[in-house]
């Protein structure tokens, strides 16, 4: 499942078994990659292997995805974030970079608000800035999933009732990030060829301007899976900056 990585399982108090891959070579920085809904860790493994071993890597499956089970606790965004933080603590990592794609970006952002002291840099790719805009994508996700704990949990977190398609509440990326001090790179595409990408409009920019140390990186002609397209290049850029012992460009 994870080429060149060791597969492990961490059992959570509610019985959930979190499956994850790890490559620990003794580097001073660990990169955690968090996949989106309806995916698993294999969707990002090419990024995990892009740095020639110069970073340690954690490649988890969110509960209810891939090799991870649902558990018995009602899903919340905080629960999923604490799952990921439990992996970080179990592996006793040092300096940590967390990169999340789509729904995984929302989980990563929640991690940063819970434990800003544990995360040196947050990379959020195509986060759900406003669920109200994502109705077609969200409906496709729920339609493709069996109606189980995973579907109910994702629906609850995204603020929708899967049976009625009613909008219950709005969990926005901006709201989740309120108060965090972790430097943040937000990746977003422009859609290209009619494919879906998050629209970052002026209202978003105003709300996001309240987040300290944020850098918006727009990738032309990239779709919703922009992290998969540019992630390897981004990892190499981070490594170059690390070797130069200088700040990440644009992040203050």
pLDDT by residue (tens digit) across 203-222?
Answer: 888 888 878 789 899 888 88
| Amino acid 245: pLDDT | 47
Partners of 160 in the β-ladder? 167
Helix (H) / strand (E) element for 33: namely: strand 29-34
| Amino acid 20: pLDDT | 97
| Amino acid 161: pLDDT | 45
**Cα 158 from Cα 152, distance rounded (Å):** 10
| Amino acid 157: pLDDT | 73
CATH number of 6-243: 3.40.50.1820
Contact 215, 185 (CB under 8 A): yes
Sheet of 214-219, strand order:
6-11, 17-23, 56-60, 29-34, 95-101, 121-125, 184-189, 214-219
**Both tokens assigned to 45:** 């493994």
Residues of the chain falling short of pLDDT 50: 161-170, 245-252
pLDDT in tens, 151-160: 667 766 766 5
| Amino acid 164: pLDDT | 41
| Amino acid 250: pLDDT | 38
Domain boundaries, the chain: 6-243
In percent, how much of the chain has pLDDT > 70?
Answer: 77
| Amino acid 101: pLDDT | 94
| Amino acid 184: pLDDT | 93
| Amino acid 112: pLDDT | 95
């Amino acid at each position: 499942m994870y080429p060149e990585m060791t597969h492990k399982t961490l059992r959570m108090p509610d019985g959930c078994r979190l499956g994850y891959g790890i490559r620990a070579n003794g580097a001073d920085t660990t990169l955690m990659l968090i996949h989106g809904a309806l995916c698993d860790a294999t969707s990002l493994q090419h990024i995990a292997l892009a740095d020639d071993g110069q970073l340690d890597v954690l490649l988890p499956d969110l509960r209810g995805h891939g090799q991870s089970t649902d558990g018995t606790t009602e899903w919340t965004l905080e629960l999923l974030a604490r799952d990921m933080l439990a992996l970080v603590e179990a592996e006793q990592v040092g300096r940590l970079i967390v990169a999340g794609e789509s729904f995984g970006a929302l989980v990563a952002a929640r991690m940063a608000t819970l434990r800003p002291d544990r995360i040196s840099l947050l990379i959020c790719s195509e986060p759900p800035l406003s669920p109200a805009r994502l109705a077609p994508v969200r409906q496709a996700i729920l339609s493709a999933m069996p109606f189980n704990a995973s579907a109910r949990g994702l629906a609850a977190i995204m603020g929708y009732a899967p049976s009625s398609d009613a909008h219950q509440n709005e969990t926005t990326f901006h709201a989740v990030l309120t108060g965090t001090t972790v430097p943040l790179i937000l990746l977003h595409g422009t859609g290209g060829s009619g494919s879906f990408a998050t629209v970052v409009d002026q209202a978003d920019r105003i709300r996001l301007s309240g987040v300290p140390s944020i850098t918006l990186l727009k990738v032309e002609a990239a779709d919703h899976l922009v992290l998969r397209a540019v992630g390897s290049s981004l990892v190499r850029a981070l490594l170059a900056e690390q070797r130069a012992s200088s700040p990440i460009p644009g992040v203050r």
